Amino acid sequence: MKRITTWLLGSAFLLGGMGFIVRAAAQETSPPPKVLAVFREFIKPGRAGTAHEKSESAFVQAMARAKWPTHYLAVNSMSGKPRALFLTGYDSFADWEKDIKAEEKNATLSAALDHANMVDGDLLTEVDAGAFAFREDLSLRAAVDIAHMRYFEISLFHVRPGHDKDWEDLVKLYMSGFDKIPGVHWATYEAVYGQDAGTFVVFNPMKSASEIDEGFGQGKQFEAAMGEEGMKKLRELSAVTLESSITNLFAFSPSMSYVSDDWIKADPDFWKPKASAMAGAAKKPAEKPAANQ
């Protein structure tokens, strides 16, 4: 997970439960953080999976030993190049700065993270980082029960220079069409650092891959809601507004994430499966643990 905080503010170089990513929630649903820090690791062929999970566990253990109040969510790519994203949410850039300074003052934590970085670096081909600002006006029902989500469908859009207003109109057309279709939600972020101007990232959290299948049916409902004229306007706006776009699928990684106690309590079998199994064994000492644990 790296020293993203010091690096980002120190060099101004950057790339979400959408998180609503990594923020402790007192309720089932929580809104996305206003500031989202994203660190990407591109992994060497054959070094993803168990090898990378093991190296990342050193970061999680260091944060846990320090009882660090700032949490992060890790997700692994299921499409595109092998890579992992580490997402940390803040209420403001000022809060991000406070987190950085606090880490710098903690010599034990800093040393542990430095060592973990050296080990983890041997598995990687490239890293980069970014900072993004939440655009509530371009998001739809963004507050979700992120602790029970399992996937992110993440879309990256590059808007043509001078077409910011067209982009806003385009997204709001989509929002109007999907507004009456239950279950559709997303959070939109605008790049502040680390990406070209006019870069937007849209997070669509999902509980299961079955929602991908359901999405095809929702697309037909959307077309019906928009009508022929509405779809024509969408096509025209997209043609003049978008320079490029791409969508990829990512799976949550509990073993590489440092999440809040609230998340763990909400779904211990996912976020801390071994701890859950041990607790079950303590209650029923004669019972064998499940094979999948």
pLDDT at residue 243, rounded to an integer: 97
Convert the pLDDT of each residue in 65-110 to its tens digit.
999 999 999 999 999 999 999 999 999 999 999 999 999 999 999 9
pLDDT at residue 215, rounded to an integer: 86
Tokens of 75: 């997700």
Tokens of 169: 């109109």
DSSP 149-181: --EEEEEEEEEPTT-HHHHHHHHHHHHHHHTTS
Q: Where are the domains of the chain?
A: 4-265
Cβ-proximal residues to 92 (8 Å cutoff; 6+ apart), any chain: 34, 35
CA distance 16 to 20: 7
Q: Domain 4-265 has what CATH class?
A: alpha beta
Question: Helix 4-11 to helix 93-105 angle, to the nearest 10 degrees?
Answer: 120
pLDDT at residue 1, rounded to an integer: 52
SS3 (DSSP) at 54? helix
CA distance 33 to 19: 6
CA distance 242 to 255: 37
| Positions in the chain whose pLDDT score sits under 70 | 1-28, 274-293
Q: Is the dihedral of CA 46, 51, 52, 55 positive or negative?
A: negative
pTM: 0.84
Cβ-proximal residues to 48 (8 Å cutoff; 6+ apart), any chain: 76, 82, 84
Q: Are 205 and 167 in contact (CB under 8 A)?
A: no
CA distance 73 to 43: 18
